[in-house]
Chains A and B, each alone.
Chain A
């Protein structure tokens, strides 16, 4: 039977197991939208294409499935760009479909034409321009395969208008046969010899540290990694992307490392003699001054992407492979080695005691107040009210770091945040996607007053589809993180960071059809959160008026080594510099 390109696309999506699309129509995708009502796919009309891309991203991060978004040509495609870049740098599987002008007009500067594949090439894992409807089905199949295998990422498929109109044969049975991409064969299994070497190194190190990244979460290796830590007495630190791999209250877990990492996590790394990096990429926000990162440690690096290995830090034992598959092989080897090496096992206990003493001596800390709302207090209260079970999305800034520090996560994929790109405006649409992907979970977006205004139109989307997300605006009337830097490193020269002219967020949200709430005193925080939790049919936004000039600590100054943290003043007047 002959189908149009549009029909083939929609049917192929179904065959890929897709049931949800976030998108926005326009001229170049009219044929696709014309067929959409006849497809079982559920389409969410966001209020901006950037929202569609972030929602698809949030959906993918929360559910582990591939996120899908649609946009029209020209401005539709360029509006997707930030969202796609955000997903790609955090290795999230998203497939984006854009319309384009008919093939005969490509390159003509036609109305709403941009070179979408050219623009998106550097921010996608791969992209395709489909020039012939006969190639469409195969391209869709390849797009999904590339997005979800190997190191996951973004694939964009650009569809000229005539391609979605023209008819061709579509054979479902053929579509269901396995994909063949002859030039693309990701390495999944680790090298057995390297795994043995790694196990030996792990069993004989005195001060090992597991450095856990987002790859552990996305490959589903969390349990195995935690198991290894327990078997071999290894303290764990995690990146922002890897935080949810480990239960936040695990006794071997020292918290996040890096620029706003805990004292214990950063010191453990600096004093370690063996760093076991799993699904992490030694990002500059993590390592601080690279030349002084873990100066006495050998490094085992397990990663699906060989290009990450040795990129920033020289590696002693590289293992290319999927974190879960590698851990499945490595864990039994480590168990064997540990059984042989009772002596070191005891040495290891000393190490655990030492790192835990750092946790107790220099904990995360803020000065409580019963006068003004402390932002950290709001996060703690959200944790309490949601019983630590909510899926949390964030925007970017101080509130993001406080969330990473103070919300103790319980299960993988629970934190959805823009780590690599640091995209303000991510939180609200990502929460919508996450809630659609995990409807049984409470989804809480922790945002800032600046970030919220970057994609607040998406509250309307949540109202439209009765998506009951909760949003907490940590309202400090500042672009707080920028202000913090100007405060510490630019002599308090606060330039263009005041958000004194601010909409009344409560009225604004009410006008959009959501529920708007506000808390101005610490005593109101709990009640207002309870009120928010009771709303089940529409979005709620709570405007928390917080202490304006609170800073995020610890902080590794730019260019500093991890042990050169600025610490909170722990009740004393002057900042204490840790050594």
Chain B
């Protein structure tokens, strides 16, 4: 098999909102020794159906296999590799920064403004910032604020949806 080049893939899965379903999906990755870089689960417009968005690294062949293996799970409705699709692709970051000097406070405020982020919580020497954006924006923001001093952070992992005019949405098929 060719197509050995590894890259990040973003895979979207619609699945029955059942505890066993999620376990089967995760075991599928772990049993093959693949790491899931991020995984996000939430229910869809139908509360009995969940949408899972996961990011995993692999070559085309591996990812194609994963997609097929996911499809054969009884509780899974649909699986899409969205990597090369036109899509909306967002991630939420919450990060607590130590801002013990006036310069640091200024610098954070400047970056928050540039990135369209928000300061959502503060103490006398910390700011907690919330940012929504695509993965690159979040990564870039993190890179810039890192020297200031990150005390704690949480990322949701990516959630994604194909753009309406792409015509390749899940809802078309159901």
User: Interface of A with B (CB < 8 Å)?
Assistant: 117-118, 121-122, 125-129, 146, 151, 181-184, 305-307, 309-311, 314
State the CA gap A118–B30 with chains docked (Å): 14
Please indicate the chain A residues that have their CB under 8 angstroms from the CB of B61 in the complex. Answer: 310
Given contacts A183-B75, A314-B1, contact A306 B27 (CB under 8 A): no
Please indicate the chain B residues that have their CB under 8 angstroms from the CB of A309 in the complex. Answer: 68
- Min Cβ gap B172→A in Å is 17
Which of B15, B20, B68 is in CB contact (< 8 Å) with A121?
A: B20
Beta-carbon contact of A183 and B20 below 8 Å:
no
Beta-carbon contact of A306 and B71 below 8 Å:
yes
Q: How many A-B residue pairs have CB under 8 A?
A: 42
Residue on A nearest B74 in the bound complex, by CB: A126
Q: Is the interface of B mostly helix, strand, loop or mixed?
A: helix
Residue on A nearest B30 in the bound complex, by CB: A122
The 5 closest A-B pairs by CB, nearest first: A307-B68, A126-B74, A183-B77, A184-B74, A307-B69
State the CA gap A310–B77 with chains docked (Å): 22
**B65 contacts partner chain A, Cβ-Cβ < 8 Å:** yes
Please indicate the chain A residues that have their CB under 8 angstroms from the CB of B71 in the complex. Answer: 306-307
Please indicate the chain B residues that have their CB under 8 angstroms from the CB of A183 in the complex. Answer: 15-16, 74-77
How many residues does chain B have at the interface if contact means C-beta atoms less than 8 Å apart? Answer: 19
Which of A128, A129, A305 is in CB contact (< 8 Å) with B72?
A: A305
Please indicate the chain A residues that have their CB under 8 angstroms from the CB of B72 in the complex. Answer: 151, 305-307
User: Interface of B with A (CB < 8 Å)?
Assistant: 1, 15-16, 20, 23-24, 27, 31, 61, 64-65, 68-69, 71-72, 74-77
State the CA gap A314–B68 with chains docked (Å): 15
Please indicate the chain B residues that have their CB under 8 angstroms from the CB of A146 in the complex. Answer: 74
Please indicate the chain B residues that have their CB under 8 angstroms from the CB of A128 in the complex. Answer: 20
Beta-carbon contact of A118 and B68 below 8 Å:
no
Please indicate the chain B residues that have their CB under 8 angstroms from the CB of A125 in the complex. Answer: 74
- Min Cβ gap B124→A in Å is 44
Please indicate the chain A residues that have their CB under 8 angstroms from the CB of B15 in the complex. Answer: 183
Apart from A126-B74, A183-B75, A184-B75: 9 A-B pairs, beta carbons within 8 A: A146-B74, A181-B74, A183-B74, A306-B68, A307-B68, A307-B71, A307-B72, A310-B65, A311-B65
Please indicate the chain B residues that have their CB under 8 angstroms from the CB of A311 in the complex. Answer: 65
State the CA gap A314–B3 with chains docked (Å): 12
State the CA gap A182–B64 with chains docked (Å): 23
Please indicate the chain A residues that have their CB under 8 angstroms from the CB of B65 in the complex. Answer: 307, 310-311
- Min Cβ gap B46→A in Å is 10
27 contacts between A and B (CB under 8 A): A117-B20, A118-B23, A121-B23, A121-B24, A121-B27, A122-B27, A126-B74, A181-B74, A182-B77, A183-B15, A183-B16, A183-B74, A183-B75, A184-B75, A306-B68, A306-B71, A306-B72, A307-B65, A307-B68, A307-B69, A307-B71, A307-B72, A310-B1, A310-B61, A310-B64, A310-B65, A314-B1
- Min Cβ gap A142→B in Å is 9
- Min Cβ gap B61→A in Å is 8
State the CA gap A146–B72 with chains docked (Å): 11
State the CA gap A307–B23 with chains docked (Å): 19
- Min Cβ gap B138→A in Å is 32
- Min Cβ gap B145→A in Å is 41
Residue on B nearest A117 in the bound complex, by CB: B20
Please indicate the chain B residues that have their CB under 8 angstroms from the CB of A306 in the complex. Answer: 68, 71-72
